[in-house]
Amino acid sequence: MKVAVGSDHAGFHLKNRLRDMLRNEGYDVRDHGATGAESSDYPDFGAKVGHAVANGEAELGVLICGTGAGICISANKIPGIRAVAVSEPVTARLTRTHNDANIICMGERIVGPEVAAEIVRVFLSTPFSGGERHARRIEKISELEHPA
């Protein structure tokens, strides 16, 4: 599976750790930065990973900032992106099965590295349920991107 990862400076260390873990586990990971811990702007990386997932370059994405919030808000501005900020694995699973979320976001200042690893593993390995009611609701989300 192709996975896009990204972070700002505040998520740099956790992003690198998760990137390396996923590569070791056989995922095809493209790192969209940040490339260092100097100050950077989370919308730049939310947009890069958002575009990579929206255009099909990657199936799913992983984004890290200090809280997980700003980079998630940014990614959700890209049409087709359903990014969700989580701090535990249950929501990571349910947002795949119910919402067909395509990017998971976390905060390096919020989530410990072992919990983050579990969240990413659960997110990437859980399929969308495909249920009719969930598909209908996701279609309604898509319609919000194109107001009449």
Q: Which is nearer to ligand RB5, 27 or 119 (CB)?
A: 119
Residue 27 vs 42, nearer CB to ligand RB5: 42
Q: Which parts of this chain interact with ligand RB5 (CB under 6 A)?
A: 8, 10, 42, 65-67, 69-70
Residue whose Cβ sits closest to ligand RB5: 70
Which residue is catalytic, options 9, 51, 65, 72? 65
To ligand RB5, the closest distance from the beta carbon of 55 in angstroms equals 24
Can 9 be counted among the known catalytic residues?
A: no
User: Does the annotation count 72 as an active-site position?
Assistant: no
The catalytic residue among 98, 105, 134, 146 is: 98
* Minimum gap (Å) between residue 46 Cβ and ligand RB5: 10
State in angstroms the smallest separation of the CB of 7 from ligand RB5: 8
Peptide bond into 34 cis (omega under 30): yes
Residues involved in catalysis: 65, 98
